[in-house]
Structure 1
Amino acid sequence: MQGRYDVKKWFDVLLNLVFGGICLFLLWILAQVFVFASFRIPSDSMSPELKEGDFVLVWKPLVGARLFNLHKSLNLEQTEIYRIPGFRKIRRNDVVVFNFPHPNDWSHIEMHILKYYIKRCIGLPGDTLSIHGGIFHIAGVASPLGNLASQKRIGQMKAEDFPQEVFQSFPYDSLLNWNIKNFGPLYIPKAGSEVKMDRTGWVLYHKLIEWEQGKDLIFRGSSVLLNDSVITTYRFRKNYYFVAGDRGENSQDSRYWGLLPEEYIVGVASRIWKSVDRYTDKVRWDRVWKAIE
C-alpha cells in the first residue's frame, strides 16, 4: 500500500509540474504578444545610440500591442493588423522597431513577420519632410531631428564621394532627382488626407495606394488609373511614417525605400537590457539597462 501511495504522490507532483510548465509557457507567449519584445541590433546603422550586439526592449503597451493572424504571417500571407490602444502616440525622434515593409523587393509593400528593422522616427503622419544639405527638416518644426552629426557629415560630402546606389534616393525618378543630400518636399500621408493624383503623386505614392487597395495603380499618358478607373485625387486610409538610421551614411531607411505603414510598427525601443561585444563575446556592462534616447 505504501508503494502505491508513493507512486500516486510522484504522479501528482509530475502532473503539477507539467501543468505549471504549460501555464508559464502560455504566460510567456501572452507577455510576448501584449507586454514586451526583445530585439538584437545586427548592424551599426543606429550608431552611436545603438551598437551592434545591443539587445533592446520594446514595451508594447506604450503605443499598443498588435493583433493579427500569426499562422498566416508565418506562412508569409498578408493579413489584417489591429492595434490595441496604447498610452501615447509615436513621436518624432522615437526609436521604433518594425516589420520591414519590403522583405523581398522594394517595388511593393508586404509584411514578413520575422524581418525586423530598427530606426528613428523623423516624420509623422501629416508632416511635410525635406532634406537640405543632408539635414532633415519638417515644415513648422524647429527642433533637431535624428543624429545631426551624421547629417552634417553627409551635407559636407560631394556627390562623387558616395557610391551611386548610396547617393540616389527614393523615389528614383529622373525628373524629381532626389538624393540623400537634397530630398523632397515629401508629404507623409495620414488617414483621411487627400493628395492629387498626377505624375508626381503616382511616383511618390503608388506603392502605398496599391498596398491599401490591393489593386494596380498605373500612370498612362497623363492619367492615373486605379484598376482601369481614372482618379484625380486619392484619400488615404492609413497612417505612415518616415524613419531613418542615426548613422545616415550606412542605413537602409525611408530615404531609400519610402514610407513606413503604421501597422508594421511593433513599438518604441525603450532600453538596452543586454549588450554583448561581437568580437569578444563579453557583456558590455556599461550599456546594460541604458535608456534609449
Structure 2
Amino acid sequence: MLSVFNAAEMFSLILTLATLITGIVFALDKFVWQPKREELKQENTGWVAQARSMFPVLFAILIIRSFIIEPFQIPTGSMQPTLVPGDFIGVEKFAYGLRDPIFHKTLIPTGKPQRGDITVFIDPSNPKIDLIKRVIGLPGDTIIYQNKTLYIKPACNGQKVCPVAKEVPKQYVGLTKFTELGTDLNEYKEELGKVTHHILRDPTLPEQINRYYQQPGQPMGVWVVPKGHYFAMGDNRDNSLDSRYWGFMPEQNLVGKATFIWISFTFNHNPDSMWPHWLPNGVRLNRIGSIH
C-alpha cells in the first residue's frame, strides 16, 4: 500500500467518500424517510433532496473515472515528440485490470502492459505525483542503454534457445522543431517490437551514465527487470527522468494506458505578457486523436 496520496488519489478519495455519503442518504430517503413524508403529505426539500439528486451524478463520475477513462494533462516535454505540454489525454483505467480507486489493488485482471505501451503510473520515487512514460522492458528482460543506444534482451521463458540482446532499430529522420535551451534536437523513428514511434536526442548533451540507477550485480547502463516490474523511458531521451535514473516501475503503481488526445492547448509563457500563463491562448486541433 502506498503511504502517501498524490493529488489524483486524494481526489479519488474525496469522490469516493462523497459518493458513499450521498448514497447512504439516497437509500435512507428512498426506503425510510420518503414513505413517512408521503403519509404526512410533505415535500422533499433541503439538504436531503440535494444529496439524493447528487448521488447518481457522483456515482456515474466515480465509475467512469475509476474503471473506464480518466483525463490527464501533459505538463512537461519528456514524451516529445509523441506528447507535448498542453496535451490532454484519455487514459484507459481498465487496460491493466480493474482496480479499486484509492489503493489501486487489482479487483479483476484484464491485461498486462506490452512493450511500447504509453502508461500513466505513480512515480516510485515520489508517490505524490503521476508520471507518463513508454514501457521499454517487461519482467525478465535485460535492458541496455549505452552511448545513447537502446538494446533489449527479451526474457527467456523456457525457450530452447534464449534470445540475445539486440539493438532496437531506429532510423534518422532529421532535425526537429523541438529544442532544448536553443539546441535543435535530432529525431529518429524507432521500432520497439510492433510499435513504431518517434524519439528525440540532444546532439550536444553527453550521456548522463554517471547518474543512472545501478542495479546490484549489474554494470552501469544494464538492468534486468524484476518480476512484477517494468522498465519505462520517455521518448525525449535526453530530457526524461525515468527508469534509467530511479529504477523499475512496480506493477501496483500502474494507473492506466494512454490511448488518445482529446484536446491540446497552447499556453503563453512570456513573462512580459498580460495574458495569464495558466490560461490557454490557442488550440492545436491537428493533435486531437489516437496516440502512437
What TM-score bracket applies, with the shorter chain setting the length?
A: 0.5 to 0.7
The Cα shift of 1:278 comes to: 1.7
Residues 233 and 243 in structure 2, CA contact (< 8 A), matched pair in contact too? yes
Structure with greater proportional helix content: 1
The match for 1:278 is 267
The Cα shift of 1:125 comes to: 0.7
Change (3 A) 1:92 1:12: same
Alpha-carbon distance between aligned partners in 2 of 1:125 and 1:177, rounded to the nearest angstrom: 19
Residues 96 and 118 in structure 1, CA contact (< 8 A), matched pair in contact too? yes
User: Higher relative CO (CA 8 A, sep ≥ 6), structure 1 or 2?
Assistant: 1
Change (3 A) 1:252 1:19: same
Change (3 A) 1:147 1:133: farther
The match for 1:189 is 226
The match for 2:86 is 53
Worse-matched range after superposition: 10-19 or 278-287: 10-19
Worse-matched range after superposition: 241-250 or 135-144: 135-144
Q: Is it true that 1:131 corresponds to 2:145 in the alignment? A: yes
TM-score, scaled to structure 1 = 0.61
The match for 2:253 is 264
The match for 1:171 is 213
- Match for 1:291: what amino acid? S
The Cα shift of 1:171 comes to: 2.6
Residues 1-293 of structure 1 mapped to structure 2, 5 A cutoff:
11=44, 18-67=51-100, 70=102, 81-103=104-126, 112=127, 114-139=128-153, 140=163, 144-145=191-192, 149-150=199-200, 153=201, 161-162=205-206, 166-171=208-213, 178=220, 183-184=221-222, 186-190=223-227, 239-279=228-268, 281-288=281-288, 290-293=289-292
Worse-matched range after superposition: 54-63 or 9-18: 9-18
The match for 1:221 is none
Q: What per-residue deviation string (whole Å, max 9, x for no partner) do you get for residues 71-114 of structure 1? A: xxxxxxxx6x42133443210010000000111xxxxxxxx3x4
Task: Give the secondary-structure state (helix, strand or coil) at the position aligned to 1:20.
Answer: helix
Structure with greater proportional strand content: 2
Task: Give the secondary-structure state (helix, strand or coil) at the position aligned to 2:140.
Answer: coil
How many residues of Structure 1 are paired with residues of Structure 2 in the alignment?
A: 205
Worse-matched range after superposition: 168-177 or 264-273: 168-177
The Cα shift of 1:287 comes to: 1.6
Task: Give the secondary-structure state (helix, strand or coil) at the position aligned to 2:232.
Answer: strand
The Cα shift of 1:129 comes to: 1.1
Change (3 A) 1:115 1:34: same
Change (3 A) 1:241 1:277: same
The match for 2:5 is none
Q: What per-residue deviation string (whole Å, max 9, x for no partner) do you get for residues 25-80 of structure 1? A: 12211221122211100000000000101111111122113226x3xxxxxxxx6x
Residues 82 and 197 in structure 2, CA contact (< 8 A), matched pair in contact too? no
- Match for 1:189: what amino acid? P
Residues 96 and 121 in structure 1, CA contact (< 8 A), matched pair in contact too? yes
Change (3 A) 1:13 1:148: closer
Q: Which runs of 5+ in 1 are unaligned?
A: 1-7, 71-78, 104-111, 191-238
Alpha-carbon distance between aligned partners in 1 of 2:112 and 2:218, rounded to the nearest angstrom: 32
Change (3 A) 1:11 1:115: same
Q: What per-residue deviation string (whole Å, max 9, x for no partner) do you get for residues 158-199 of structure 1? A: xxx44x8x4423335899662xxxx11x21111xxxxxxxxx
Q: Which runs of 5+ in 2 are unaligned?
A: 1-40, 154-162, 170-190, 269-279
Alpha-carbon distance between aligned partners in 1 of 2:139 and 2:209, rounded to the nearest angstrom: 26
State the identity as a percent.
Answer: 30
Alpha-carbon distance between aligned partners in 1 of 2:135 and 2:209, rounded to the nearest angstrom: 21
Alpha-carbon distance between aligned partners in 1 of 2:146 and 2:198, rounded to the nearest angstrom: 12
Alpha-carbon distance between aligned partners in 2 of 1:9 and 1:275, rounded to the nearest angstrom: 50
